[in-house]
């Protein structure tokens, strides 16, 4: 998955033309493949090897763009020596989000579960009118993204009358939509494949016990990856090497080196 950057833009915003709605919008086919989306939605419980995922996903995405981070409190972080306010946008309520962006802070991190609807992309695109730079950062393993808004350039004077919006009357750059769709589709595809693998594994007892070992090792690997501790190659001995059925790769349980090929 990629980090997508939107530079500051002069965007014509006509607030009289906003079209409101009674509920949240449906996913748009220009942003996510409808077939994959439907398949994904039929998965009752997506497999995860993470315990307590919220904090750790936040750290994963933050570490793709910042070198240092310190938590000041629940809503404020120091990221590369700048103060950022953290806002949760999990319920698609644009009015609440907009009010949250109007306070004294100059930098914000907006947590979004997914970007599947056109109004959401319009809103993110519109943010580039008020900030020096917007970065969209997606997690590589779960449906989780951060919208990082850096250095407010002018007052955030957007007036939104109600929470659900169907259309912000803004034409979003096609390349941006293409990038987001690519990330969305590959995320859904990976999740579907992984859950198919899980169903297969669950048919065999010996594979299930291997799955527990894999889950444990992948969890350890992911945490080491976030903390940038994954590159201490240990001359891996054969009995440390575990084959991950889930990701179709080999992993050394000692130093956590991943490999598609059995090179050891
Ligand atoms: Zn090793």
pLDDT band, very low/low/confident/very high, at 209 (cuts 50, 70, 90): confident
Ligand 1 center to 209 CA (angstroms): 22
pLDDT tens digits, residue range 5-50? 999 999 999 999 999 998 888 999 999 999 999 999 998 877 787 7
Helix H, strand E, coil C: the string for 49-110 is CCCCHHHHHHHHHHHHHCCCEEEEECCEEEECCEEEEEEEECCCCHHHHHHHCCCCCCCEEE
Ligand 1 center to 223 CA (angstroms): 16
Ligand 1 center to 231 CA (angstroms): 10
Residues β-bridged to residue 108: 85, 149
| pTM greater than 0.85 (yes/no) | yes
pLDDT at 135: 97
Ligand 1 center to 264 CA (angstroms): 9
Ligand 1 center to 17 CA (angstroms): 59
Least confident of 93-107, 161-175, 248-262: 248-262
Ligand 1 center to 261 CA (angstroms): 14
Ligand 1 center to 250 CA (angstroms): 10
pLDDT at 55: 85
pLDDT band, very low/low/confident/very high, at 264 (cuts 50, 70, 90): very low
Do 164 and 20 touch, CB atoms closer than 8 A? Answer: yes
Residues, CB within 5 angstroms of ligand 1 (ion): 234, 236, 252, 254-255
pLDDT band, very low/low/confident/very high, at 231 (cuts 50, 70, 90): low
Ligand 1 center to 230 CA (angstroms): 10
Mean pLDDT for the chain overall: 89
Residue count of the chain: 264
């Amino acid at each position: 998955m990629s980090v997508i950057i939107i530079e500051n833009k002069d965007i014509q915003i006509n607030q009289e033309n906003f079209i409101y709605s009674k509920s949240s919008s449906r996913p748009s086919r220009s942003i996510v493949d409808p077939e994959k989306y439907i398949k994904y939605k039929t998965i009752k419980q997506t497999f995860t090897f993470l315990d307590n995922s919220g904090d750790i996903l936040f750290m994963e995405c933050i570490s793709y763009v910042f070198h240092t981070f310190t938590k000041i409190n629940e809503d404020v972080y120091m990221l590369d020596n700048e103060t950022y306010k953290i806002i949760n946008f999990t319920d698609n309520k644009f009015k609440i989000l907009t009010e949250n962006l109007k306070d004294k802070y100059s930098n914000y991190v907006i947590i979004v579960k997914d970007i599947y609807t056109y109004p959401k992309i319009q809103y993110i695109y519109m943010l580039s009118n008020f900030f020096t730079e917007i970065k969209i950062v997606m997690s590589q393993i779960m449906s989780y993204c951060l919208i990082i808004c850096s250095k407010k350039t002018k007052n955030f004077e957007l007036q939104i009358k109600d929470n659900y919006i169907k259309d912000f009357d803004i034409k979003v750059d096609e390349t941006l939509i293409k990038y987001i769709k690519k990330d969305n589709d590959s995320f859904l595809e990976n999740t579907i494949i992984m859950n198919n693998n899980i169903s297969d594994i669950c048919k065999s007892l010996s594979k299930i016990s291997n799955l527990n070992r894999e889950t444990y090792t992948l969890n350890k690997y992911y945490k080491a990856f976030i903390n940038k501790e994954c590159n201490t190659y240990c001359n891996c001995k054969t009995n440390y090497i575990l084959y991950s059925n889930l990701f179709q790769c080999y992993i050394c349980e000692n130093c956590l080196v991943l490999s598609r090929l059995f090179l050891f």
